[in-house]
Amino acid sequence: MTMDPPPRSSSSLFDVYLRLRPSNVPNVRFLTVEETEAAHPTHITIKPPTSDNRKRAVERFAFTRVFEEDARQLELLKGTGVVPLIEGVLGARGVGRDGFLATLGVTGSGKSHTILGTKSQRGLTQMAMDILFQSTGTQLVQSFYGAPAFSSLAAADASEAHMFTATAFLDSMYGDNQSERFPSRAQTPMPDCSSFIANGATRSKNIPRPSTLPQNPSVHDIDIPCDPDAEYAIVISMYEVYNDRIYDLLTGNATKKNTNTKRRALLFKSTEASPDRKVVAGLTKIICGSFEEALMILETGLMERKIAGTGSNAVSSRSHGFFCLEVKKRDWERKGPWSSSTLTIVDLAGSERARSAKTAGATLAEAGKINESLMYLGQCMQMQSDNQDGSKNIVPFRQCKLTELLFSNSYPSSNARHHTHHNPQKSIMIVTADPQGDYNATSQILRYSALAREVTVPRIPSVTSTILAGTAFRPTSASGRTTPSAILEELDAANAEIARLSSEIEVFALRLTEETARRKAAEQSWAHAEEHMVDLEAEIRDECFADMEAAVVQERRRWQSAWDEEADNNQAHLDSKIDVVIKATKAQMREQGNVQAYEGSEERVDELERENEMLKARLEALERVDQARSASPIKKMRVLKAKKWTNPDPEASVLRSGLDSD
C-alpha cells in the first residue's frame, strides 16, 4: 500500500505538518506513527479506541512531515520550512514574498505552545522575530519619530494604518521611558500617542520585561542573507478575529483600567492605495528598531487578546490571533519606493465540542462561532486538497472572516486593471494533535487537513480455518458426491466473502458518517447564508430608504427653486407688461394732449405730493371753519335761520358761504 504525500502542486496552498503533543492523561492511544526508511515519518494511522469490534476501520493520513512527542521547538522551526519562509519575506534576491504560518488543532492540543511558546521556551513567533532582526542587523532603519524614514514609511502604507514608532508607543503606554531599558536608538517622543496613555495606577504592573521572557531556544546559528543594496524596516501589527469580527490588538486597552470600552471592528477591504489586494484597514502599526522592542509590542498585544477559561483548557484562546511581521525594503542609496512583504503568523482558536468544553452563555456562543469558522476553514482546505488532482472547484472562502483573511489574497484579483505583481504566498500549516485525546474531534481535523487519506478495514481471519486449525479433522472423499472438504472450502470462500462485504460495509458506514457530517455542515452554512441574506436585505432596504429620502429632499429643493424661479419670471413678465401699458397710456395721452405727460416718475411724485399737501391744507381750513361755526350754537342757529329766511335753497347757500370764507 503506497500513499505518499502528494507533491505541493501549484494549486495547493499549504505544506501541512503534524505535531504530536505529550499526553498527560493516561488514555488509550488511538494514533500510531508509521515507521519509515526515510529521514522523517510522514504517515500516521488512527483507530477508534473502542471495545466495539464492529468498528475496525483504520484511517491512514499523509503529511509533509510528522513530529513526534519528543520534538523540540527548534526542531520544529528548522523542520517545517519556517526559515525559507523568512528568507522569502526578506527577499534577498529582488521582490520578497508573503509568508503564512498557522497552527490548527483541537483545543489544548498545543497550538499556542507551538506558536507562542511557554514561560521557559520561545515559540515560533519569537524565534522568527529574532531571526528577522538578526538578519537585517545594521541595514535596519532608525525607528524613532522624526527619523528620516518615518514619514516615507507612513506615507507608503496602503492600509490606512495609524503608524507609530515602538519608542513612542511604549513610552506612552507604560511611561517612565520604558524604551530606555533596552537597546534602542532614540527616545524622541511622538506627539499624538494620547489614545494609548494608560491610567497611572495600572502602568507599571503590566509592563512586559524582555529580560524576563525566555531566551531559549537560541537562533544565533541561523543566518539568512539580506539584499545588500537595501535598507529595511520591520513593522508589527496584531489583530484578532473574534465572533467573526476583526479587532486591533494594539489599541492600548492592555494597560487601561477600564477595559470595557466598546471595541471598534475593522474592515478587510481594498483601499485606494491597494486596489488589487484586500488589507485590514485602520490597524495600529509599530515600527520596531530592535528585537526587544518587538517582544514588548508582542507581549502588549497578547495582553489585549481575549482569553477565557473553559472546561477543556484552563487558558484557552477564544479568538484567532494574527501577528503580522511586515518587512519593508527600499534601495539604500536611491531611497526609492518601499516594497513590502509580510510574515503572518496565526494562532487559530481550538475546535471543540461544546458538550465536552462545559462552556456556557457567551463562551458557548464564542465556541459556536469558532467551530463555525473552523468548519468553513475545513471546507476550504478540503476543496483545496481535492483540487490537487486537477479539478477546479471554487474554494468557498467568503463564508467567514477567517477564511476570507486566509484565502482571498491567494487568488488573482478580479480587479485586473490594477493588478500588480505579487509573488504567490507560501503557507505552512502545523496541525497539532494529542494521540490520547479526543478521538472524534482529532480525527475530524486530520480528515480535512491531511494531504492524503486512505481508509482500510483489517481482514478478519477465516472462521472455518480458525476452527479447523485447532482440530485433527481431515475431510475424505469416498463417493462421487460432495465431500466434506469441498463443503469446507465452500464455507471458507463464503466466510471470506462475508468478511470482504463487512469490511466494505464498514468503509461505507464511515463514508456515510462523514457525508452526513458534511451535509449537516452544508445545511448549517446554508442556514447561515440565509440569515446573512436576511440581514443583507434589511441593510439594503435601510440603505435604499435613506437614499430615497435623500432623493426626495433633493427633489423637493429642486422643485422649490424651480417654483421660485417661475414666480420671479412671472413677476418680471408682469412688470414688463405694466411698463408696456404705462408707456402706451402715456403715448396715448400725449397724442390727445389734454393731460400733461410726465417723463420722470420722480417729477410726477413731487407734483402729486405738492397737490396732496395743498388738498390737506384746504381740508384743514374747512375743518377749522366748521369747528368755529359749531363752537357758537346761537350764531349757528342765526346763520341757519338767516339762510333759511333769505334763501330758499339752503344747500347752495351753505356751499357758497364755505367758499366765501376761503
Query: Which of 284, 316, 373, 409 forms a contact with ligand ATP (CB under 6 A)?
Result: 316
- The rounded distance, in Å, linking the Cα atoms of 562 and 287 is 57
Phi, psi for residue 170 in degrees, rounded to 5: -70, -40
Give the range of 50-58, 309-317, 584-592, 637-645 binding ligand ATP by CB under 6 A: 309-317
Decide whether 374 or 381 has the Cβ nearer to ligand ATP: 374
Site track for ligand ATP across 347-366, x = CB under 6 A: --xx----------------
Pick the closest to residue 139 from 11, 223, 74, 227 (CA basis): 227
Nearest distance in Å: CB 301, ligand ATP: 16
**Binding residue per annotation — 600?**
no
Q: How many residues does the chain have?
A: 662
Kindly write out the interface string for residues 421-440 of this chain, putting x where it contacts ligand ATP by CB under 6 A and - elsewhere.
-----------x--------
Q: What is the C-alpha to C-alpha distance for residues 466 and 445, in angstroms, rounded to an integer?
A: 39
Compare residues 311 and 396 and give the one whose CB is closer to ligand ATP: 311
Beta pairing partners, 340:
328
The window from 105-113, 149-157, 491-499, 512-520 that contacts ligand ATP (CB under 6 A) reads: 105-113
Residue 137 in marked binding region: no
442 binds ligand ATP (CB under 6 A): no
> Where do we find the cell 519562509?
85
**Could you tell me where the beta strands, DSSP code E, fall in 289-336?**
307-308, 316-317, 320-331
Residue 235 or residue 346: which is nearer to ligand ATP going by CB? 346
Residues 122-141 that bind ligand ATP (CB under 6 A): none
Q: How far is the CB of 129 from ligand ATP (least distance, A)?
A: 19
| Binder of ligand ATP out of 99, 110, 252, 378 (CB under 6 A) | 110
**Contacts of ligand ATP in 525-564 (CB under 6 A):** none
- Cell output for 217: 531556544
Q: Does 112 bind ligand ATP (CB under 6 A)?
A: yes
The residues in 2-21 that bind ligand ATP, with binding defined as CB under 6 A, are 21
**And the C-alpha cell for 47?**
483507530
Choice between 105 and 435, CB closer to ligand ATP? 105
Binding of ligand ATP by 313 (CB under 6 A): yes
The answer to whether 449 and 381 are in contact (CB under 8 A) is yes
Query: d(Cα 169, Cα 472) in Å, to the nearest integer?
Result: 88
* Dihedral angle computed from the Cα positions of residues 571, 573, 575 and 580, in that order, rounded to the nearest 10 degrees: -170
CB 366 within 8 A of CB 308: yes
Region of 150-158, 167-175, 312-320, 410-418 interacting with ligand ATP (CB under 6 A) = 312-320
**Strand locations in 37-161 (E):** 43-46, 58-62, 65-67, 97-105
Q: Is 451 helix (H, G, I), strand (E, B) or coil?
A: coil
CB 59 within 8 A of CB 443: yes
Tell me the closest approach of the beta carbon of residue 288 to ligand ATP, in angstroms. Answer: 25
How far apart are CB 49 and ligand ATP at their closest, in Å? Answer: 20
User: In the complex, what is the shortest distance from the CB of residue 472 to ligand ATP, in angstroms, rounded to a whole number?
Assistant: 56
Counting residues that bind ligand ATP (by CB under 6 A) gives 17
Which of 105, 289, 378, 435 forms a contact with ligand ATP (CB under 6 A)? 105
Is residue 305 involved in binding ligand ATP (CB under 6 A)?
no
In whole angstroms, the minimum distance from the beta carbon of 106 to ligand ATP comes to: 7
- 10 Å CB burial of residue 629 (0-12, 13-18, 19+) is middle
CB of 355 to ligand ATP, least distance (A): 16
- Give the CA angle between residues 227, 229, 235 to the nearest 5°: 60
To the question of whether residue 110 is assigned a binding role by annotation, the answer is: yes
Check: CB of residue 97 under 8 Å from CB of residue 89: yes
Q: Figure out which of the listed residues 118, 151, 485, 588 binds ligand ATP, where binding follows CB under 6 A.
A: 118
Q: Nearest distance from residue 242's CB to ligand ATP, in Å?
A: 13
β-pair type (274-281, 307-308): unpaired
Scanning 156-164, 230-238, 313-321, 548-556 for contacts with ligand ATP by CB under 6 A, the matching segment is 313-321
Contacts of 57 (CB under 8 A, 6+ apart): 48, 455, 456, 457, 506, 507, 509, 510
Q: Report the run of H or E that residue 98 belongs to, with start and end.
A: strand 97-105
316 is in an annotated binding site: no
Is 105 annotated among the ligand-binding residues? yes
What DSSP character marks residue 274? Answer: E
166/349 with CB nearer ligand ATP: 349
User: Residues near 105 by Cβ (< 8 Å), separated by ≥ 6?
Assistant: 111, 348, 350, 351, 431, 432, 433, 442, 445
Binder of ligand ATP out of 47, 60, 65, 111 (CB under 6 A):
111
Instruction: Scan residues 377-416 and list those touching ligand ATP (CB under 6 A).
Output: none
Is the Cβ–Cβ distance between 15 and 427 less than 8 Å? yes
From 37-45, 104-112, 257-265, 510-518, span contacting ligand ATP (CB under 6 A):
104-112
How does strand 14-20 pair with strand 65-67?
A: parallel
Does residue 99 bind ligand ATP (CB under 6 A)?
no
**Cα–Cα distance, 127 to 123 (Å, whole number):** 6
In the bound state with ligand ATP, the residue whose beta carbon lies nearer, of 300 and 442, is: 442
Residues 569-628 touching ligand ATP, rule: CB under 6 A, are none
* Residues of this chain, 227-256, that bind ligand ATP according to CB under 6 A: none
Q: Which stretch in 43-51, 107-115, 332-340, 636-644 sits in contact with ligand ATP by CB under 6 A?
A: 107-115
User: What is the closest distance, in whole angstroms, from the C-beta atom of residue 429 to ligand ATP in the complex?
Assistant: 14
Residue with cell 432596504: 541
DSSP assignment letter at 254: G
H or E, element range at 404: helix 401-407
Torsion of the alpha carbons at 447, 450, 454 and 456, rounded to the nearest 10: -60
Closest of 79, 579, 117, 104 to residue 378, by C-alpha: 104
Does 111 carry a binding-site annotation? yes
C-alpha 227, offset from chain centre: 33
| Nearest to ligand ATP of 266, 374 (CB atom) | 374
Mark the binding-site residues, compressed into ranges. Answer: 105-112
Contacts with ligand ATP by CB under 6 A lie at 21-22, 105, 107-113, 118, 313, 316-317, 349-350, 432
Mark the binding-site residues for ATP, compressed into ranges. Answer: 105-112
